[in-house]
Amino acid sequence: MFNHSIASKSVDRRDDSQQRIEPMAMGATMYVPVVHPAVQAVVTGQKYPGLRSVVLCLEDALHINDIERGMLALRDLLAALAAAAIGSAHIEPLHSRPGVWPRRRGGDSGPLLFVRPRNLVMAMSIAALPGIGMVDGLVVPKLRIEEVEPWWRLAQDADLRLMPTLENPWVLDPVALSDFADMLEEQDKGRLIALRVGGNDLLGLMGLRRDRGHTLYEGPLMWGLSQLMCQLGSRGHALTAPVFERLDDPVTLIAECRRDAAFGFIAKTAIHPSQIAVIESAFTVTPQDLVAAHEMLSGDSGAVFRQVGAMAEPATHRPWAKRIIARSVAYGVA
């Protein structure tokens, strides 16, 4: 088995002044198997120029018999990306600078790049790979509450960002979810980009799969999504919406994305390049909402006033207004 010890390699250390990744800047994040034949073209932005963030998957998208091949593929990819970065910067070649590798700097040379390992042990091996600075962060698979602190320690040591995936049974337990929210408050917030919701896994716990023509908001998972937004979104955590696995139903995808945006999700995972533009168009804001948001934040607005047939109360609605403006920057105006 391909293996590395985090202590045996020089791990890239990006300094803490690196610009923080804004969650909405990720857009529609696409998952790609790490052994995909065009993986380098994908992560450099050559294959899908509109893709803003990509996750190289070594978990669900990779057969267990392909784990070693996947780790080797990731190692070779990071080395190639690092070599290209060094070449473009006109600095010394890798072999003359042992232990020193370039930094990716948040998608400057392609979409934001994340890796999804199978577990914490694999993540430690990945964090020790030469060229890990080419990666912006890790997607934590099936996060368990007792693993929160170890994941954060790893992210700190390797100077990586985290996107934990919420897809285990405890996610549907309001008490456990509250405990998790409390635990997040004790961690370095700068390491957390967003929390990803594993909708298919949560449905699978109930023996269910989404029906054609129905959004996730028309079934039992609606309650779970509400809990996640109420307990985590209310504390300021960014959440990304679950995948839509029907590739031949763009009408329902658009409807679900609009519900996602209205629900407070900041983005949605894509499983196919054809979904990227559809998802991002559904997260645009209306001109009316954008005007209302700017008016809400204006220092000239009253404490309470009438606005497009509704009561506006800046003391209450400022968070909404800031979200609308952030969405307009990330996704544009419809």
Could you report the per-residue pLDDT of 228-278, keeping only the tens digit for each? 999 999 999 999 999 999 999 999 999 999 999 999 999 999 999 999 999
| Other Cβ atoms closer than 10 A to 120 | 16
Q: Are 178 and 232 in contact (CB under 8 A)?
A: no
Q: State the pTM of this model.
A: 0.87
Q: Which 8-state DSSP code applies to residue 298?
A: -
Report the alpha-carbon distance of residue 28 to residue 51 in Å, rounded: 7
Could you report the per-residue pLDDT of 63-90, keeping only the tens digit for each? 899 999 999 999 999 999 988 887 765 4
Could you report the per-residue pLDDT of 189-234, keeping only the tens digit for each? 999 999 999 999 999 999 999 889 999 999 999 999 999 999 999 9
104 pLDDT band, cuts 50/70/90, is: low
Nearest Cα to 178, choosing from 143, 217, 145, 225? 145
Report the alpha-carbon distance of residue 34 to residue 184 in Å, rounded: 29
Ordered domains of the chain (ranges, CATH): 23-283 (3.20.20.60), 286-334 (no CATH)
Within 116-248, residue ranges assigned H as helices are: 120-127, 148-158, 174-185, 199-205, 221-231
300 pLDDT band, cuts 50/70/90, is: confident
- Angle, alpha carbons 158-53-47 (nearest 5°): 120
Which residues have CB under 8 Å from 156's CB, separation 6+?
A: 188, 191
- Over residues 298-314, mean pLDDT: 69
316 pLDDT band, cuts 50/70/90, is: confident
